[in-house]
Chains A and B, each alone.
Chain A
Amino acid sequence: MKYLPALIENIAARLFNVERRSGNARNNSIILVRRRIYILPTYYGILFAMLLMLLLVGATNYNNSLGFVLTFLLASIGLVSIIHTYRNLLQLKISAGKASAVFCGSIATFHLQIENPDQRPRYNICARFKGDSPAIININNEMVAIKLTCGTTQRGWQTMEKVTIDSVFPLGFFRAWSDISLPKSCLVYPLPATEPLSPISKGDGSGKENSQNGGDDFIGYRDYQPGDSPRHVNWKAAAHSDKLHTKRFGDNESSELWFEWDSLQTLDTESRLSQLCRWIIDAEQNGVDYGLRMPDTTIHPGQGDDHQHRCLERLALYPSE
């Protein structure tokens, strides 16, 4: 009785909290409430039911009371296991974490957090995108993070596919599942061109022509980025740390480059974007200030991860024809 006010408040919160009730994922998270969980027998469940029929016929035929006892015992265990399977998913809270941007063609990773609000542990819970092999977890009274991956084929925003959370625990005769879609997307940059052309435009004319390899002088290290030539990776240092570093070559003088949409008029849109993407990556690698001039926007020269992301994002979201 002591906790009654708190309990009532808690129940009231559950009742009127729209986000919780509807499972509407405005908040990047979904609670697996009753209505969201479906449950059906598995192939083995059907096999088990057939065995029960057989036992029942046997017990009837021999008028064997203990045979009935065993048959009904197994049947009840099967029935009770429905509740266990169902409760194994009930009230799990699934929230989407970050999903870092990737280049087209590589694997996008979505982070999911599954939280168990109850004291009892949940066993053998699978999370998967349709058709993929699942990530299997056991959750004690805690939160568990899992990663789900999927391939990318198109630049732009790739929304997370429906995630199937399911479990056959404890007997494997029933499968409870819930398909959830969280409003989470992963930005997919265009595929960098493999054979980069030299950037033709030198911006305002003040920039120097810069080959993709930079100059011949070694000017220092920076963090490895996708697209770096393996020949430039400092492999010796890689043995000591968990990060890869790329050797930078170039002229000591800093230069400024302008990458222009209009300079690539001979190519179609996607190839243009790929080309621009490659230039941006290379320029960033070489520590050159670079700017991007697109038909609708202009990004002034700069450097660094944020700058690169802004440029690549522009390319990724460029309207396709």
Chain B
Amino acid sequence: MKKHLAHIIISRNTTRWLLASLLLAFAPHILHLPITLSVLCLMFGIWRFSIERRSTIILPHRIFRTLLLCTILVIVYLYYGTLFGREAGIALLACMLALKLLEMRSVRDYIIAILLGYFLAITLVLDNQTLPMAAYMFVVAFMLTATLIDLNLAQKNRAISINLKLTAKLFTQALPVMLILFFLFPRIPGPLWSLPDDAHSGTTGISDEMSMGSISNLSQSNKIAFRVAFEEEVIDNNLSYWRGPVLWQTDGKNWSSGDSTHISREINYRSMGKPINYTVTLEPHNQKWLYGLDLPATTPSTAVINRDFQLVTKEAVKELIRYEMTSFSKYQTGPLSRNEMQRALQLPANRNSRAVALGQQWQQQIQSPQAIVNHALQYFNQQPFSYTLKPPLLGNNPVDEFLFKTQRGFCEHYAASFTILMRAAGIPTRIITGYQGGDFNPIGNYLIVRQRDAHAWTEVWLENRGWVRVDPTASVAPERIEDGAESAFSELFDRQSTLQFNNRFLTSNWLKLRYGWDSLNNSWNQWVIGYDSLKQSELLSLVGIESIKQMAIAMGVAVVTALSALLLLSVRRNRQKQDAVSLIYQRFCQKLSTIGIQRQPHEGPLDFAQRIITLRPDLEPQILQINDLYIALKYRPRHTQQQIKHLQQQVRRLKL
């Protein structure tokens, strides 16, 4: 079957098209590949380009190419330690493709290079699924397809515009079919097999451990953690606590969740006030939990809730997911188990002894736990504590050093010190990590929570009230809680940003643009990136499609319908293009054929008219009139509708 394309003559233009589109597909990889390989790939491309410029195409010898192949394999192995896996695979693919350029001769080689190019295009989006990258991928696919069409155009001196026009047409027509496939093709939840370790590299976010300084690392990142769309009105900033891991266990320096917390069957707290309904779109963070507003009242289908009211998933979140939630901002939790009580009072021995002594002193001086808490908060407020992104390094007794020496810290410093003080005073306390605040996007009407909003706060357990949220940071830097991290560090952000807008008008427009762009990204995430098997079944069940079988049938029907519609439409458009004048003349010829005068294919209108007149001299005036009109309409540039009508009448009146 190969022979059907064997006759195609490959022009040098085609090679240039191919080189250009492959360069486009390769460009984003240049910086990620080892420098040797990038340079090698580019060199091969330039080599082929210069070969094309010579009069005869002489490709490097086979032995030489085999040597190059071996070199590449060795380099890839040395660099990655393997020939498999994602990164090494991409490197190999790019190099093989570049090497293929040096042996391309037949149509088969070209087509294989184009197909490999498509493959390279998909590797572009493996870890970058943003809107600009999607656009770029489209451009790459477009160019490669244009190359393929160029290969199949049998014309030697063809205009580029034909090629591009055809490709554009193909793409526009393919778009509806693509949408059908995208939404209806039955998705199987991946992965099909365990992924290589490097599959999801480079995700940032809160971890399930905390040490002094771990969160402040995040606070300079503008990366988005998640977005929240509220069903009713947006929640106040001082209630916007997004619950992540709950930390109990400490050695005085580091905090962790300690013993794995039991998963509770039901959510047992007394909710008060109005429920808050919202939808979270969580960026992948490669951890096994979701974030919910304090306190979650429902669980999304992908997660369960544990006794710490933390949303826990079975698998790490490696793709963008979207889930609907309900929370209550006013609540009352139940009693504490013995185990919990122990864990909530656990203090490391021989560490931070001054802080422990202070806590114990408070316990003796002050009667009620509530009063102790208030006293501690006042202590933070009145002592010269300050809130800073760049706290000084702390030694072996970090809480002591922080409380009594440096007094400069970030939220985790306050949360950790407060917890140590409270536990020393006999009040069960735990640390909650997560996010606080966020920017409200007025255009998309949702909240954007970024990595810099990462936060740590505490919960104390009080008799009759259960767990109560206490944020010691609020007493030091209330603006951090009221207005979010950005305003607390506005000075810092101003210094860091290169764009300084003094002009209010410009600033507001810049903000608008930024929010608009983020809102676009949000919809993109909701509808394209976040569209997985779960969302698919959710969406399709709305129209009554429940099973995979039904999905497949619906997809088949939709695709066939779209293609038939396309076929019908294009055939009809062609009919219409056949202009009215020709149609009238066709009728004229048909009329004459009824009396046995057939127009021969080689006969022009003039010759035909002449023949009719010799056969039927009586028709001469009518025939001549029709013929003159037809020729005028057909071959002269300007004519009016009236003339066409006139011709039509003439033909109709013709009596044979």
**Chain B CB within 8 A of A318 CB:** no
A15 to B340, CA, bound (A): 86
Q: Is the CB of A65 within 8 A of B578?
A: no
Q: Are B586 and A10 in contact (CB under 8 A)?
A: yes
Which chain B residues have a beta carbon within 8 Å of chain A's beta carbons?
1-2, 4-5, 7-8, 107-108, 111-112, 115, 118-119, 121-122, 125-126, 129, 133-134, 137-138, 141, 145, 148-149, 151-155, 166, 170-171, 173-175, 177-178, 181-182, 185, 187-193, 195, 199, 318-319, 528-532, 559, 563, 566-567, 570-571, 574-575, 577-578, 580, 583-584, 586-587, 590, 601, 641, 648
Picked from B126, B195, B570, B587, the residue with its CB within 8 Å of the CB of A9 is: B587
Complex Cα distance, B119 from A143, in Å, reads 41
Q: Are B580 and A3 in contact (CB under 8 A)?
A: yes
Considering the complex, give the chain A residue whose CB is closest to the CB of B176: A76
Smallest Cβ-Cβ distance to B188: which chain A residue: A60
Are A61 and B190 touching (Cβ within 8 A)? yes
CB distance from B518 to the nearest CB of A (A): 19
Residues of A within 8 A of B149 (CB): 170-171
7 other A-B residue contacts (CB within 8 Å) besides A65-B528, A80-B170: A2-B580, A7-B575, A10-B587, A43-B1, A63-B191, A70-B121, A83-B563
Q: Which residue of B lies closest to A59 (CB)?
A: B122
**List of A residues within 8 angstroms of B575 by Cβ:** 7
Within 8 Å CB of B166, what residues of A? 170
In the assembled complex, A144 has its CB within 8 A of some CB on chain B:
no
CB neighbours (8 Å) of B115 from chain A are 47-48, 51
User: In this complex, which of A59, A74, A95, A136 has the most chain B Cβ atoms within 10 angstroms of its Cβ?
Assistant: A74
Contact B154 A124 (CB under 8 A): yes
**Distance A81 CA – B566 CA, assembled complex (angstroms):** 11
Check A119/B578 contact, CB under 8 A, given A55-B122, A77-B171, A169-B152: yes
Q: Does A237 contact B (CB under 8 A)?
A: no
- Tell me if A58 counts as interface (CB < 8 A to partner B): yes
**Cβ-neighbour of B174 out of A10, A60, A79 (below 8 A):** A79
| Structural contact, A6 and B153, CB atoms closer than 8 A | no
- Which of A59, A69, A171 contacts B134, CB < 8 Å? A69
Q: Does A303 contact B (CB under 8 A)?
A: no
In the complex, are the beta carbons of A172 and B148 less than 8 A apart?
A: yes
Specify the chain A residue showing the minimal Cβ separation from B185: A72
Which stretch in A110-118, A196-204, A238-246, A252-260 binds the other chain? Answer: A110-118
**Contact A67 to B122, CB < 8 A, known contacts A2-B580, A77-B174, A80-B174:** yes
A172 proximity list for chain B (CB < 8 A): 4-5, 107, 111, 148, 151-152
Contact A138 B154, beta carbon cutoff 8 Å: yes
Please report the C-alpha to C-alpha distance between residue A72 and residue B586 in the assembled complex, in whole angstroms: 44
List of B residues within 8 angstroms of A68 by Cβ: 182, 185, 187
Quick one: closest B residue to A121, CB to CB?
B162
Q: Is A153 an interface residue (CB 8 A)?
A: no
Expressed in whole angstroms, the Cα–Cα distance for A12 and B317 within the complex equals 64
A52's nearest neighbour on chain B, judged by CB, is: B118
Q: Is the CB of B121 within 8 A of A7?
A: no
A66 lies within 8 A of chain B by Cβ? yes
Task: Check if A71 is an interface residue, CB within 8 A of chain B.
Answer: yes
Partner of A77, one of B119, B129, B145, B532: B145
A29, A115, A123: the one contacting B155 at CB < 8 Å is A123
Q: In chain B, what residue has the closest Cβ to A62?
A: B126
Q: Mark A147-182, 1 if CB is under 8 A from B, else 0.
A: 000000000000000000010111110010000000
In the bound complex, do residue A83 and residue B182 qualify as a contact, i.e. CB atoms below 8 Å apart?
Answer: no
Tell me whether A317 is interfacial, beta carbon within 8 Å. no
Chain A contact residue count (CB 8 A cutoff):
69
Residues in B with CB closer than 8 Å to A193 are none
* A–B Cβ pairs within 8 angstroms, 13 of them: A42-B2, A44-B5, A47-B111, A48-B115, A60-B190, A62-B126, A64-B126, A70-B118, A70-B125, A73-B174, A86-B567, A169-B153, A171-B149
Q: Which residues from A are CB-within-8-Å of B319? A: 63-64
Whole-angstrom CA separation of A133 from B8 in the bound complex: 11
CB-CB nearest 6 A-B residue pairs: A76-B177, A76-B174, A66-B125, A72-B181, A124-B154, A43-B1
Closest A residue to B651 using CB positions: A6
A70 touches B154 (CB 8 A): no
B594 to chain A, nearest CB (A): 12
Knowing A6-B587, A123-B155, A172-B111, say if A80 contacts B119 (CB, 8 Å): no
Q: Are B601 and A115 touching (Cβ within 8 A)? A: yes
What CA separation (Å) do A43 and B532 show in the bound complex?
33
Residues on B with beta carbons closer than 8 Å to the beta carbon of A90: 571
> Chain B CB within 10 Å — which of A42, A73, A87, A137 has the most?
A73
Shortest Cβ distance from B151 into A: residue: A172
List of B residues within 8 angstroms of A64 by Cβ: 122, 125-126, 129, 319
A236 within 8 A of B: no
Whether a CB of chain B sits under 8 angstroms from the CB of A294 is: no
Complex formed: what's the CA distance from A133 to B7 in Å?
Answer: 8
- Chain B: minimal CB distance from A184 (Å): 15
Report B275 CB to chain A, min CB distance, Å. Answer: 31
B199 CB to nearest chain A CB (Å): 7
Q: Which residues of A have CB within 8 Å of B151?
A: 172
Q: Residue B584 contacts which of A6, A70, A133 (CB distance < 8 angstroms)?
A: A6
Residue of B nearest to A29 (CB): B601
Are B584's CB and A113's CB within 8 A?
Answer: no
A172–B147 Cα gap in the complex (Å)? 12
Residues in chain B near residue A43, CB distance under 8 A: 1-2, 4
The answer to the question of A54 belonging to the interface, with a C-beta cut-off of 8 Å to chain B, is yes
Given contacts A59-B122, A67-B126, contact A166 B133 (CB under 8 A): no
Which residue of the partner chain B has the closest CB to A125? B154
Question: Closest CB of chain A to B267's CB: distance in Å?
Answer: 29
CA distance A60 to B318 in the complex (A): 13
- A83's partner among B119, B145, B567, B648 (CB-CB below 8 A) is B567
B558 to chain A, nearest CB (A): 12
Does the CB pair A54–B119 fall under 8 Å?
yes
Query: With A and B bound together, what is the CA distance between A239 and B121 in angstroms?
Result: 60
Contact (Cβ within 8 A) A170 B170? yes
Asked if A134 lies at the interface with its beta carbon under 8 angstroms from chain B, I say yes
- CA of A64 to CA of B319, assembled, Å: 8
Complex alpha-carbon distance, A134 and B653, angstroms? 48
Compute how far the CA of A168 lies from the CA of B583 in the bound complex, rounded to whole angstroms.
31
Pairwise interchain contact A175-B587, C-beta atoms closer than 8 A: no
Interface centre among A9, A77, A113 (most CB of B within 10 A): A77
The interface centre, meaning the residue of A44, A67, A76 with most chain B CB atoms within 10 A of its CB, is: A76
Given the known A-B contacts A71-B122, A72-B185, are A119 and B530 also in contact in the complex, defined by CB atoms under 8 Å?
Answer: no
A69 touches B178 (CB 8 A): yes
Q: Which residues of A contact B4 (CB under 8 A)?
A: 42-43, 166, 168, 172, 175
Contact (A66, B137) CB under 8 Å given A80-B174, A171-B149: yes
Q: What residues of A have a CB within 8 angstroms of the CB of B133 in the complex?
A: 66
Please measure, in the bound complex, the distance between the C-alpha atom of A119 and the C-alpha atom of B126, giving whole angstroms. 43
A168 touches B532 (CB 8 A): no
Cβ of A83 and Cβ of B566 under 8 Å apart? yes
| Cβ–Cβ < 8 Å partners of B181 in chain A | 72, 75-76
